[in-house]
């Protein structure tokens, strides 16, 4: 299992008229958690796409809204990979407010594609080799 945490503060422009974090913005926060997790193992999405030639499109996403986040809340995005797979990656995301209360929980499944051909490919070695020590 590999776990990564990153923080983000809810910006005014991300809230709705009630002052809640707009529900459509949670997907962006989930993405932020994934991007920073990949960065934490020494890669970036840019490296995967430009140097390695592999993209990671989203196949499915499930989001549970538990309690609202508000303007200026400091949130912790906890992103977990529970299983290393050569076919796809499934990220489990929990978002907590500054009081440590769970506000959202979700799952995102991504596959791997060759950037040029748009065909599915296995997990690139550069990614799997960095993840595999966490699944021994």
pLDDT in tens, 95-125: 999 999 999 999 999 999 999 999 999 999 9
What 3-state DSSP class applies to 61? strand
Residues present in the chain in total: 136
pLDDT given at position 106: 97
**Helix or strand holding residue 126 (H, E):** helix 125-131
47 is catalytic: no
pLDDT given at position 104: 98
The verdict on pTM exceeding 0.85 is yes
Task: Identify any residues that bridge with 120 across adjacent strands, giving them in sequence order.
Answer: 113
Active-site residue (options: 16, 72, 87, 114): 16
Measure the CA–CA gap between 92 and 14, rounded to whole angstroms.
Answer: 22
pLDDT given at position 136: 75
Query: Into how many domains does the chain fold?
Result: 1
- Contact (Cβ atoms closer than 8 angstroms) between residue 8 and residue 73: no
Per residue in 35-94, pLDDT tens?
A: 999 999 999 999 999 999 999 999 999 999 999 999 999 999 999 999 888 899 999 999
Joined together, the tokens standing for residue 89 give 């990656």
Which domain, by its residues, includes 125? 2-135
What CATH number should be reported for the domain holding residue 67?
3.10.129.10
């Amino acid at each position: 299992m590999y776990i990564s945490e990153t923080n983000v503060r809810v910006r005014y422009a991300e809230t709705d008229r009630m002052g809640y974090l707009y529900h459509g913005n949670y997907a962006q926060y989930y993405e932020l958690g994934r991007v920073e997790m990949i960065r934490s193992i020494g890669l970036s999405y840019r490296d995967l796409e430009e140097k390695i030639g592999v993209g990671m499109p989203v196949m499915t996403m499930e989001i549970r809204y538990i309690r609202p986040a508000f303007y200026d809340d400091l949130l912790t995005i906890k992103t977990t990979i529970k299983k290393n797979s050569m076919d796809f990656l499934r990220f489990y995301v929990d978002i907590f407010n500054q009081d440590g209360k769970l506000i959202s929980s979700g799952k995102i499944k991504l596959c791997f594609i060759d950037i040029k051909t748009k065909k599915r490919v296995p997990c690139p070695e550069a990614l799997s080799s960095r993840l595999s020590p966490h699944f021994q």
